[in-house]
Amino acid sequence: MDKFLRAWRQDALNRGQIDAAIYIGDKVLAVTNSDSDAFWLAQVHFTNNNYTRALGMLNRTGLIARSNSCQYLAAHCYIRQGRYDQALSILGEENPTHLISTTHNARMCYLRGLCFAKRNAFDKARDCYKDAVRIDVQCFEAFEQLMKNSLMSPAEELAFLNELDFSSIRVDDSSLADEAADFTKLLYTTRLSKYASPAELSNAVETLSTHYNLASNPDLLLTRAETLYTQCRFHEALAITTNILNSQSDLSSSADSSSAYTSASLGHTPNLYPLHLALLYETGAHNTLFHLSHALSNHAPHESYTYLAIGTYYLSTSRISEARRFFSKASLMDPHSAPAWIGFAHTFAAEGEHDQAIAAYSTAARLFQGSHLPQLFLGMQHLALNNMALAWEYCIAAFEMSSGQLKASGSEGDASNRIMSIPAHLGGDPLVLNEIGVILYHQSNLPAAARLFKKALELAADLGCNMTAWIATRANLAHTLRRLHRLDEALAEFDECLRTATGGSGPGPSQDIITSRTISQFADLTIGHGSAGNISGAASGYEERNLLGSIHTSRGIVLLSMMGRTREAIMALHEAVRILGGDSGGGGVAGTLLSRAMEIWALEEAQEEAEEEHEDRMAKANINLRARRKGRETVAQESDEPEAGSFGGILLSGPNGRKSHREKVLEKRLDDDADEMLNAAFGLNSQTMTTPNYLIVSLPTSVTPSGHRDDVLSSLQKAVGSSYGEVSPFNTATFKIGTLDALIQQSEDLAKLESLANLVVAKVGDTLKNIFDGDESKIAQHKSVNDKPLDQYLKSFSWNKVKYRADKPIAELVDLLQKEINSIDNDVRAKYSQYNSLRTSLQQLQKRQTGNLSTKSLTSIVKPGTLLTDSEHLETQLVAVPNSYTRDFTRSYETLSPFVVPRSAVEVSKDDEYTLYAVTLFKKYAAEFVHRAREKKWVPRDFKFKEGGQAAEVQEVKKTEAEERRVWGETLRLGRTGWSEAVQALVHVIVLRVFVESVLRYGLPPDFVGALIKTDRKRAERARKGLDAQYAYLAGNASDTSDYSAYVVYEIDLD
Rounded CA separation 932/315 (Å): 80
Among 566, 549, 466, CA closest to 514? 549
Among 997, 784, 946, CA closest to 355? 784
Among 806, 696, 753, 743, CA closest to 986? 753
Rounded CA separation 311/329 (Å): 9
Name the residue with higher pLDDT: 863 or 878: 878
- Rounded to an integer, the average pLDDT of 974-992 is 91
Name the residue with higher pLDDT: 867 or 45: 45
Rounded CA separation 526/534 (Å): 7
Helix, strand, coil in percent for the chain, rounding step 5: 65, 5, 30
Residue 269 in contact with residue 219, Cβ under 8 Å? yes
Please give the model's pTM, rounded to 2 decimal places: 0.57
- Rounded to an integer, the average pLDDT of 160-167 is 88
**CA 439 to chain centroid:** 18
- Rounded to an integer, the average pLDDT of 1029-1051 is 73
Residue 711 in contact with residue 1021, Cβ under 8 Å? no
Model pLDDT, residue 478:
92
Cβ burial of 522 (10 Å; 0-12, 13-18, 19+) is: buried
Among 259, 223, 267, CA closest to 241? 223
Peptide bond into 96 cis (omega under 30): no
Rounded CA separation 784/976 (Å): 8
Per-residue pLDDT reduced to its tens digit, 927-971: 999 999 988 889 998 887 766 666 677 777 788 888 888 888 888
Residues in a beta bridge with 874: 922
- What DSSP character marks residue 912? S
Instruction: List own/partner pairs for 64-72 with CB under 8 A and 24 or more apart.
Output: 64/90, 66/35, 67/35, 67/39, 68/104, 68/108, 69/39, 69/104, 70/35, 70/39, 70/42, 71/108, 72/104, 72/107, 72/108, 72/111
Residue 923 in contact with residue 909, Cβ under 8 Å? no
- Rounded to an integer, the average pLDDT of 854-881 is 82
Residue 507 in contact with residue 499, Cβ under 8 Å? yes
Hey, what domains does the chain have and what are their CATH numbers?
2-213 (1.25.40.10), 216-364 (1.25.40.10), 372-458 (no CATH), 466-685 (no CATH), 693-824+964-1052 (1.20.1460.10), 864-945 (3.30.70.100)
Model pLDDT, residue 311:
93
Per-residue pLDDT reduced to its tens digit, 307-344: 999 999 999 988 999 999 999 999 888 888 888 889 99
Q: What angle do CA 509, 515, 516 make, to 5 degrees?
A: 110
Q: What angle do CA 901, 906, 911 make, to 5 degrees?
A: 145
Rounded CA separation 751/1050 (Å): 11
Among 858, 944, 871, 952, CA closest to 904? 871
Beta strands in 719-859 (DSSP E): 726-729
Q: How confident is the model at residue 542 (pLDDT cuts 50, 70, 90)?
A: very low
- Rounded to an integer, the average pLDDT of 75-93 is 88
How many CB atoms sit inside 10 A of residue 473's CB? 29
Residue by residue, DSSP assigns 158-183 as: HHHHHHS-GGG---SSGGGHHHHHHH
Rounded CA separation 149/341 (Å): 12
- Rounded to an integer, the average pLDDT of 461-487 is 86
How many CB atoms sit inside 10 A of residue 526's CB? 24
Mean of per-residue pLDDT scores for the chain: 79
Per-residue pLDDT reduced to its tens digit, 382-403: 888 888 888 888 888 888 887 7
Pairing of strands 914-922, 874-882: antiparallel
Model pLDDT, residue 1004:
80
Q: Which residues contact 935 (CB under 8 A, 6 or more apart)?
A: none
Residue 282 in contact with residue 526, Cβ under 8 Å? no
Q: Phi/psi zone of residue 229: left (φ > 0), alpha (ψ -120 to 50 degrees), beta? A: alpha
